[in-house]
Structure formats: structure tokens, C-alpha cells
Structure 1
Amino acid sequence: MTRSAGRRSVGRYSRCALLVGANALLLAHVPAAAEFNPPGREVRPAPLRVMLEVAPGNWGEADVADVQLVLESVAREFLSHVAAGHGGELRLRVMPRGTAPRVLFERGGEGEYIVHLTARNQRWYQYAYQFSHELCHILSNFDHKDGGAADHAKANQWFEETLCETASLFTLRRLASSWETSPPARKWVGYAPAFAAYADQLLAAPHRQLPPGRTFDAWFRENRPLLEADPYLRDSNELLAAVLLPLFERDPARWQAITYLNADTASAGKPLAGYLADWLRACPQQSRAVVRDTMAVLGLTEVATAGAAASTDPSFLLR
């Protein structure tokens, strides 16, 4: 979830406490489609440096150092699939809050994204579920839209919410695999099945299933106007995420495409066809398949075909 918030909503805490747990995650950077290697010269991948700071506070019975380790593991898992093609530095400050998980539009004093989580105690699967959702918002350029924080919830915001719910489910299942052999500390040996069980529990919820006798096309035609009016209809977001999840699990590298969503600040205000066509055009060639597949699922195959053909006729964007 993304919501606007002023600085007064962001708490202050001891800088020295943060420095103890602020570790950099170095992730491989693969050259993007527009980059070329000079002849006869090997170009080494540049790292994406992620600075993650966890604030002390009301994490329940969880130790802040353990929260740090778990969130680093979540970031490492998700970003390893997303961050190819993106060097530089990403700063994140994570704080406990009691309302709803969110990433704020206003950044901190050092340019860091401020993330609020409601997960508490040692329910590590909930930390993973919430944090990966907010990471997805950040990486999909949630704050790169005309109108800024006050006007960000446009008609297409439901799509970003759906993608980020998909990211949460994906990350839970990937952590179930990676923690099976490499948990971040010995204390979590044997914890991996909890991630899989939580993902299974979420996916089995009745509201994530199509109503009996309904096709997805019919359901989406009925629910799309409701989502465009209120992008935070969670039952609908979550059903859509269950539909999109196989598109990304088929090839985890497909997550690289989300870094090209909202590349044009004007895209969010366009009709859905134009919004997704902008996403398709912004992606390098190797990232376009998942965008086309997503369009096909949503009944926009004609738009995907037109975008793939690089049509010079802009009329298809208005359909």
C-alpha cells in the first residue's frame, strides 16, 4: 500500500542504533538493452547497493537485530530477480507502525524511502509478506506520477496494488525454498515451511477464487470499474494477484519489467490500455513478454499486439 504522509508522521530514533544493523546488500547489475559493451573490453556487472536500516521500536517480542536479518533476506531474495539492469544505491528505513503497511511519498533526510510495517513479534512470514509488497511499490516507481502524493490514487493504481500483492506471494514461496538450505541464521533452521504454509493459506482463501461458474473475463469486466473507483479493494486485488502469479513464477527474471512501470509520469492518468502500452514500450525487449502476457490476461491482446509492432498510430491507446 502507498499513502501520502507528511514528515511529522515519521518518528525519530537513535542514529547509532541504526548503524549497528545497517548492512549493504550487493546485487548484480546486468547491462540494460540500450547499453553496449565496447569491442574487446569486458564489462563487469555493477552492483545495486541497498542500505537497509531498521528502527528500534515496538516490534513486539522480536529483537530489532532479528528484524534486520529477516528484512535483509527478503530484500536479497526479491531484488535478486528485479534489480538486473539497475546500479546505484537504494536506501530504505523501516519503522514499526500500527495502522497499515505503507511506503511514504516523502523521503527521509538522506533520500531514503521510509517504510512502515505492522508485522510484530516473531511472525517472520508477515514481515516478508508486507516488506516485499512495499519494495515492489518502490521498484515500480510509485512516486513517479503526475500529481504527486495528493493525487496518486488514479484509476490504474489497482494494477500496481495487484502487482505488489503478486510480489508478496512470489517472495514467500521463494523464501520457502532459499531458507530451506540457507536461512540467515541457525536459529531459523526449519522455519522455511512457514513461508510456504502462509502463501498456501493466502492463496486458498475463498475471496481469491473465482465465483463458481464465472469466467475470469466476466469477473474482470464486472469488477474493473469498481477497482478503478477504489484501487484498494483488497479482495479483488488479491484474486487478480493469484491469476498473475504464474506469469512471474514461470521465469523469475520477468520481475525486471516492474522497474519500467510508471516510467512516464503521465502514464498513470491514461486509460488502462494506454497505461500498459506505455509500460510495454518502456521495457527493453527481453522484459516485454510478461507485459504482453499480462495484457492478454486482462483482455488487451489487441493492444499488446499493436505495441509489439511499434505501431505509429496512437489511436489504439484510447480504446
Structure 2
Amino acid sequence: MLSPEGGVSGQGPAPLALSLSDRAGEESHDARSTATAVTPGPLWGAVRSLDSLDAAVQEASRTEADDAAVGSDAADDGHGPAAPIAGETVEALDPAAGAPEAKAAGETSQGAARREQILDGASALFAERGYHGSSLREISRSVAISHPGMLHHFSSKPALLDAVIDRLEAHAQGLLDSVEALSTSPAQLLAALAGPWHPGRPPITLIATLSAEIVDPEHPGRYRMSRLRLVHEHILKQVLAAYAERGLLTPGTDPVFLSRAVFSLLLSLAVRERSVRALQSSSGGEPVEDVRTFVQHFLNG
């Protein structure tokens, strides 16, 4: 997970949204303290969408079980490695067997790729059906992996949700680190509304579905998703406040109110695209154009 540096010693970096939460210190799904203040990590070069995140970011959170996952998956599916032919050594059949480091590196790479595949499948199903409406077996079938094989990567459904939210936080980190670029002109913000904030694509579609679910106080992603929303609102507020300082917003516009309204509209449009859109008999009402039109009402000139 790419998040700001810091956190409780021995427990890895704290989620970036903790620094913006007004409930810091309260319980979270993993029961870690959230009281520790955090600061943004290294600046990303540009605004990045979820699809363009470097797989190496996720590789840092692998467990040791990932290294053996590919072989275990094959065994679970009934396609384990063939036994050596009599009279031949393992090294003769597989030259890589004599190079443990090279073999381990290959397994690690394949394990990371399989992990990303599972996260892709889980993200798609969670966006479509929600966390409670998706089972681990359905997710494993969607990515053509055995159920026991998937458990080598994610031991439980809450653990899988945590990893999915890690991705959403990494996406938000990219936007947070790009505030300066987004603040240069309204054209940059309008472009981002068709890119990383596109209301008809991941990750906004996924955030919209999970945000609706977390009204349930027992939802395992409740606090992290709530804080993630605060992060997005904070990013928009910083950008809009920079516009206001330069007279680029209409007089009397409150950047705090507008940031909340814009992000709420993005989530509402994401739901509309998956529901009302199918009932429309005519074209028009494209979600990006809708949110851009809304924002332009508050731009001065």
C-alpha cells in the first residue's frame, strides 16, 4: 500500500486518510491506533488512475505465503508438478532448480501477478454487487483460481477488502500528491474529472458502492472508507481554495462546501450510470459532462 510515511512502530505505514479524520484514535477494522499524525509521502509525478498504478506498490505488501502460492494453486487444481523421470535429477529436468534465488524470484513475480489478478476481480465484483453481495468463491471463479489457492493470498474476506481499500488509498495518494499541479488552472481539474475522478469508471464506481454499504456500523470497511472520502474532499478543497485565492471562483463560493458537493455528485453519477442509464431511451447526460457543467457554474470566467 502506498500511503504517507509514519504509523505505529512494527505495524507498517498508517493509512493516509488518518491524518484527515476527525475521529482519529477510534477503532478501526484492524484495531490499530489512529492517533499518530502522518505526513504525505514522496510526490508522485502526475495524477494517476487506478489502472496505471505500478504493480510494485502492491508487491511490498506480499506475505511469505505468496512466494509458494503458484505451486499451491496448481496442486489445488489437480495440476501439480510432474514427478521426476527415473534416473534423471531434478536439476536436469528443471535447470532453474539449481538456482534457488532465480527460482524464488520467478515465483515471487508470478505470486504478485496472481495477487493483482485477484484484486482486480474482487474490485469489479465489489463495485457491482458490494462487499456483502460478493463471496470469496465467486471472486475466485471470476479470476479462474481455486478457492484454496486464493486463500494462500488472502486468508479471509475482510483481509481481501483491506487490500482492495489499500489500492483506493494509493489512488487517493496520487491525487493528494498532485494538488499543486491540479491547482495551476481550472482546466487541470476539469481534465481530472474525466480521468482519475471519472464517475463511470474505477475507482469511483467502487468507492460509490462501498460508500453506500458503510452506513452499516458493522461493515468492516466503515472507518477506512469514511476517511477515504474525507481525503478526496480535502484534495478538492485544497484545489478550489487555490482557485479562490486567485479570484478564479465566483464571489461567495465556499471551497469547503463545493468540495463536498463535487465529490457527492461524482458518487451519485457513478450510481446513476449503473442504474438509471439503462432506462434512458436517448443519449445525453454523460456523467463527465454533468460534473464539469456543475463545476463550471462556480468558475469565474
Q: Write 1 or 2 for the structure with the bigger share of helix.
A: 2
The structure number with the bigger radius of gyration is 2
User: Could you say whether these structures have the same fold, taking a TM-score greater than 0.5 normalized by the shorter chain as the test?
Assistant: no
